[in-house]
Structure 1
Amino acid sequence: MTFDVRLPIGLLFLAIGALVAAYGLTADQAAMSAHSAGLNIDLVWGLVMAGFGAVMLVLVWLARKGDLPPPSEG
């Protein structure tokens, strides 16, 4: 079994994205909208990062299942 770097990257982005999205959900919305033109930047980017982490974890799962070749070494 080889080391697949997608696993720690996926876990890292999923964890940080969940934390940033949770902060975006719980932060003061009035202060946030005053600084970012009405867009909750923390929530949006938290979801983007969590989505990227989920994609990495799906790729790891598919590679272990045998549907994808393992990452090339070298």
Structure 2
Amino acid sequence: MTEVKKAGLFDLRGVLALLFAVYGVVLTVMGLFSTSQQDLDKAGGINVNLWMGVGMLAAAALFALWARLRPLAVPE
């Protein structure tokens, strides 16, 4: 009988989730605490760092959820 193992460490979704989370936290913090009025004027009044940070955090959560719910199966 073939035993199926999870690929855990070698699953790219986990690495991508971690990278998106780190960049998302950095951008969110910069958007909250480091955005000047000049930056907002350049971007048409939209806090781009904040919204992209939130989007990256959402993408990280989706990748982590996907990896958790549908783990990569590697036949032995």
Same fold (TM over 0.5): yes
Change (3 A) 1:71 1:31: farther
Alignment length (residue pairs): 67
Q: Contact (CA 8 Å) 2:35, 2:47: kept in 1 or not?
A: no
Pair member with larger Rg = 2
Q: Which has the higher contact order (CA 8 A, sep 6+)?
A: 2
Deviation at 1:24, TM superposition (A): 0.4
- Unpaired segments ≥5 residues, structure 1: 65-69
Deviation at 1:71, TM superposition (A): 6.5
Change (3 A) 1:8 1:39: same
Q: Contact (CA 8 Å) 2:20, 2:60: kept in 1 or not?
A: yes
For 1:10, the equivalent position in structure 2 comes to: 17
- Give 1 or 2: higher strand fraction: 2
Q: Distance in 1 between matches of 2:12 and 2:36?
A: 37
Q: Distance in 2 between matches of 1:34 and 1:24?
A: 14
CA root-mean-square deviation? 1.7
Deviation at 1:28, TM superposition (A): 3.4
- Unpaired segments ≥5 residues, structure 2: 1-5
Deviation at 1:11, TM superposition (A): 0.7
Q: Distance in 2 between matches of 1:27 and 1:17?
A: 15
Q: Where does structure 1 differ by over 3 angstroms across 4 or more consecutive aligned residues? A: none
